[in-house]
Structure 1
Amino acid sequence: MIRIVIAEDQQMLRGALTSLLQLEEDIQVVAQASDGKDALDAIACHQPDVCILDIEIPVMTGLEVAEHIRRHQWPCRIMIVTTFARPGYLQKATDLQVEGYLLKDEPIETLVGAIRKVMNKEKVISPELMTALFHREENPLTEREQEVLRLAKEGQSTRQIAQTLFLTTGTVRNYLSTAIQKMEVDSRHHAIVKAEKKGWI
């Protein structure tokens, strides 16, 4: 029996996915989670064979959950599902060596087949996502610039970001200014939107 934890914040989709997977004789959904923290708790508790993670779940993203799993060397296989073919997300998933990366609009048969393949130590990726990876742009932002933009995205002011990262407000402004220039936009808001769209933050 393949034991699965599903992390998806849309309740209807999560329920439908669970019901469809439970129809398979060799698959059992042992837990569902609506955010990244609950997903980690469920994975730690149930020790599933496979975890299916939506990339944009709240509290912790699917990629952050995947990073935690890899860092702690938990044995479960990781499948990322997403609505968007964002090259930056795919690159992060590739760096984390996830076993599966699928678009949400794939047929359920594709997902079921992918689950069985990753259990057989194969890697699975949607063809559209492979195309996105081939055409991906390099992320021009440094790790610190990404960190500053992520905090700004959360609504933190320049002063709050400085306190969080133990920097001066002037240094934070410099990082924001450089990020805005690299994104070729005219405001921090537009820099955040563009970087998020490309999967760089």
Structure 2
Amino acid sequence: MRLVIAEDQGMLRGALAQLLEMEDDIEVIGQTGNGRDAVELIKKQTPDLLIADIEMPGMTGLEVAEEIKRSCSSCKVVIVTTFARPGYLERAMKAGASGYILKDEPINNLIAHLRLINNGGRFISPELATAFYFAKENPLTEREQDVLRQAYSGCGTQQIADHFHLTRGTVRNYLSTAIQKMDAHSRQEAAKKAKDNGWI
């Protein structure tokens, strides 16, 4: 199988590539630490599989998975993460990811999962599946998530309004509703709670 690795920690990316290259049936044809570059690599190299971290500059692993689904690429996406956030798993599944695996899995297990996925299977680390099963449902609408995501990045009301071409009043209403739903006292607290659950 031909694969691309997208992981912003250079040492981890290099070590993973070396270990995978030791397998006779695996060829690492591209590596990057940037999500946007990962999308370009996939267009150029047409790999069978992408191993992607969630937290990356350019685009997150989840955004890359969503872009690959939109482009109808045959490349299968495997999210490898340290985060057991139910909202992240939900987004990954909606984006068509074939695997969602914890980074602390032994390398032999990871390789076995990659082979399974390459052959048409799917795999979710059991701890992640359990966290998802017992998680609360996301109460936020898509627009509330968008607005909280901007607030989490430090944007003020006017900046958020300009970004989404909304009025300040509309943005304040979205923020107010989101704060109530998150049982928070401020937009920052609401954004942090949403982030901790993987909803933004």
- What range describes the TM-score normalised by the shorter chain of this pair? over 0.9
CA distance in structure 2 between the partners assigned to 1:119 and 1:175 by the alignment: 42
The one-letter amino acid of 2:184's match is V
| CA–CA distance in structure 1, aligned partners of residues 151 and 26 of structure 2 | 41
Cα distance in 1 between the residues matched to 2:188 and 2:15: 36
Provide the C-alpha distance between the structure 2 equivalents of 1:39 and 1:99, rounded to a whole number of angstroms: 17
Shift of residue 154 of structure 1? 2.2
Q: Output the CA distance in 2 between the equivalents of 1:152 and 1:185.
A: 14
Which residue is equivalent to 2:20? 21
State how far apart, in whole Å, the 2-side matches of 1:19 and 1:150 are: 36
Q: Does the residue aligned with 2:180 lie in a helix, a strand or coil?
A: helix
Structure-1 residue corresponding to 2:113? 114
Matched, 1:51 2:50: yes
Partner SS, residue 43 of structure 1: helix
Shift of 1:11: 0.7
Counterpart Cα distance in 2 of 1:166 and 1:125: 38
1:182 is aligned with what amino acid? K
Q: Which runs of 5+ in 1 are unaligned?
A: none
Q: 1: CA distance between counterparts of 2:4 and 2:159?
A: 36
Structure 1 residue 80 and structure 2 residue 79: aligned?
A: yes
| 1:17-66 deviation line (CA, Å, top 9, x unaligned) | 11111111110111111011011111111110000010111221101100
Measure how far apart 1:156 and its partner are.
1.7
Normalising by structure 2, we get a TM-score of 0.97
Deviation sequence 1:54-83 (CA, Å, 0-9, x none): 011122110110001001100011101110
SS state at 1:31 partner: strand
Q: TM-score, normalised by structure 1?
A: 0.97
- 1:150-181 per-residue CA deviation (whole Å, 9 max, x = no partner) reads 11222221101111111111111111111111
Partner of 1:30: 29
**In the aligned structure 1, how far is the partner of 2:193 from the partner of 2:32?**
29
Structure 2 gaps, min length 5:
none
SS of the aligned residue for 1:105 comes to coil
- RMSD across aligned positions (CA): 0.9
